[in-house]
Amino acid sequence: MNPLVRKSLVIAAVILLLHAALALPFPGIAGLSARHWATGMGEVLVIVPSILVLIGLFDAWVPREVVARNLGTDSGLRGIAFAVLLGTGAAGPVYAAFPIALTLREKGARTANLVIFLGAWATIKLPMLMMESAYLGTRFAMLRLVMTLPGIIACGFAMERLERPAPVDA
């Protein structure tokens, strides 16, 4: 059996055993936790496989130079705008973005744009903005957006200075 499949099965078995053990003294908590787990995995399973297939296609069809040109060291303002748009347009929690960001990095995106992409993906999505307005008020949502976006861009460039990975190409 594939070692990764075996590892997943072992982890699932351990989690189920833990819930069974927890269910003896606290059936309510165990049941709730198991339901949250199932919901969480369900969310992951409806989103992540499609994303992985899209990344696979991206990896097979988009040449390195295209990514490097649009998100690389010399991409400038266009690179930032591109990273924000790429992040806001997508769906799913931020951990769904990690494999995408990794592919972008391998194809030559600069660190600042990666961090901007992850930040935009995490916290400023247009449909989410409508939801935020609905729950907490338009003023709240707009103010948070206006403050967060420059912060994310600043974080990107600060991180690029601090994190020097092994150079991808000379």
Partner 1 sequence: MFPFVLMALAAGGVAVSAWQDRARTRAALAYAIKAGLNLLPSLLAMTAAIGLAMALIPASVIARLFQSHGTLGFLLLSGLGALLTIPGPIAYPLAGSLHRMGASLPALASFITTLTMVGLLTSPLEIKAFGRRFTVLRQGFSLALALLVGALMGVVL
Q: In this structure, are residues 44 and 89 in contact, taking their beta carbons and an 8 Å threshold? A: no
With respect to partner 1, which residue has the nearer C-beta, 68 or 104? 104
Q: Which two tokens stand for residue 41?
A: 């995995």
Q: Choose between 11 and 85: whose C-beta lies nearer to partner 1.
A: 11
Residue 99 in contact with partner 1, rule: CB under 8 A: yes
54 vs 65, beta carbon nearer partner 1: 54
Comparing CB distances to partner 1, the nearer of 44 and 81 is 44
Cβ at position 53, least distance to partner 1 in Å: 4
Cβ distance to partner 1 smaller for residue 11 or 78: 11
The answer to whether the CB of 92 falls within 8 A of the CB of 128 is no
Smallest distance from partner 1 to CB 77, Å? 21
State the Cα angle at 147 between 145 and 153, rounded to 5°: 95
Q: Which stretch binds partner 1 (CB under 8 A): 4-12, 63-71, 76-84?
A: 4-12
Question: Looking only at residues 20 through 79 of this chain, which bind partner 1 when binding is defined by CB under 8 A?
Answer: 29-30, 32-41, 43-44, 46-57, 59-61
- 70-79 long-range contacts (CB < 8 A, ≥24 apart) are 71/104, 71/108, 71/109, 71/110, 71/113, 71/114, 72/108, 72/109, 72/110, 73/110, 75/110, 75/113, 79/110, 79/112, 79/113
Instruction: Give the shortest CB-82-to-partner 1 separation in angstroms.
Output: 19
- Give, as ranges, the residues between 133 and 152 that touch partner 1 (CB under 8 A): 134-136, 139-140, 143-144, 147-148, 151-152
149 with 87: CB under 8 angstroms? no
